[in-house]
Amino acid sequence: MRVSPCFRERAILLEGEEGHVIVIGDVHVGLEQELARNGVRVPDQTPRLRERIDALLAETGADRLVVLGDLKETIGSPTDSDRRKLRDLFRGLQAKLDLVPGNHDFDLGWLGIEKVELHEARGLRIGDVGLAHGHVWPTDEVMQARTLVTSHNHPMVGLRDELGKLHKEPCWVRGTYAKKAREKYPGIPPDAQFVIMPAFNELLGGTAINVARADGREEGLGPLMKNGLFDVEHASVYTLDGIEVGTIRDLRAQAKKGVA
């Protein structure tokens, strides 16, 4: 399948024999309530999230929507507010809906939405594209796809303005696998790549991927990142506008010099 980031949005379009599919991750419905508990008040974001989903489906002609985990902000069983907001988000959706649970998602069977399919947390595969949230080990089938798409990490890149102030912006990360990955999953194709999506919810923050930890360990979340299966150092970073700003290794070197 053709895998195309929807630049200026935080979604991926898959095109192939299986049709047109929009993929998003880290929706975190109800995040505004958590922000309010910390003194930051913003309006209910559910209508805005739905408007963006509808626009993506209309602009691309996609008839299928895949959500890669963290559908809601609360961790554990859904609250009454979660149930109301999620039903509002997907009510009357003009597309088949596939839900892959993330670490915030438990017991999604109550949704009761038409044309919805719940998948296991280890991901699903559509053609030669593997799709997983990234908080657990994907299945062999998902890992052995030509392209693996994950979310979970809310990738951001730290860029300095002309005054030297560091700004964090959401970004895309695309790269290849490290040797460890091929040892664990021998069936990974030679030309396989991974893509880490930016979070769909515009209010979410994240850690700047080009600012390395003092102990040298990866800052990323999930077993693929923490066990070194992704070749993070040589992965390319793109802004939401589709501008390639360099590899993570080069951006980290620039950050140390105070110019990234």
Comparison of pLDDT for 109 and 148, the residue scoring more: 148
- Residues for the chain: how many in total? 260
pLDDT of 258: 61
Average pLDDT over residues 148-164: 88
The structural domain count of the chain equals: 1
Going by C-alpha positions, the residue among 153, 159, 150 that lies closest to residue 211 is: 159
pTM for the structure as a whole:
0.91
Segments forming the whole domain that contains residue 149: 2-256
Between β-strands 19-24 and 64-68, what pairing exists: parallel, antiparallel or unpaired? parallel
Q: What token pair was written down for 77?
A: 């069983």
> Sorting pLDDT into bands at 50, 70 and 90, what band is 218?
low
CA distance 98 to 75: 20
Going by C-alpha positions, the residue among 232, 195, 222, 226 that lies closest to residue 24 is: 195
pLDDT of 213: 55
Asked whether residue 255 carries a pLDDT value surpassing 80, the answer given is: no
pLDDT in tens, 52-106: 999 999 999 999 999 998 998 888 777 888 888 888 899 889 899 999 999 987 7
Going by C-alpha positions, the residue among 101, 48, 49, 53 that lies closest to residue 78 is: 101
Listed range (12-16, 149-153, 176-180, 221-225) with the worst mean pLDDT: 221-225
Residue 69 maps to which CATH number? 3.60.21
Comparison of pLDDT for 207 and 186, the residue scoring more: 186
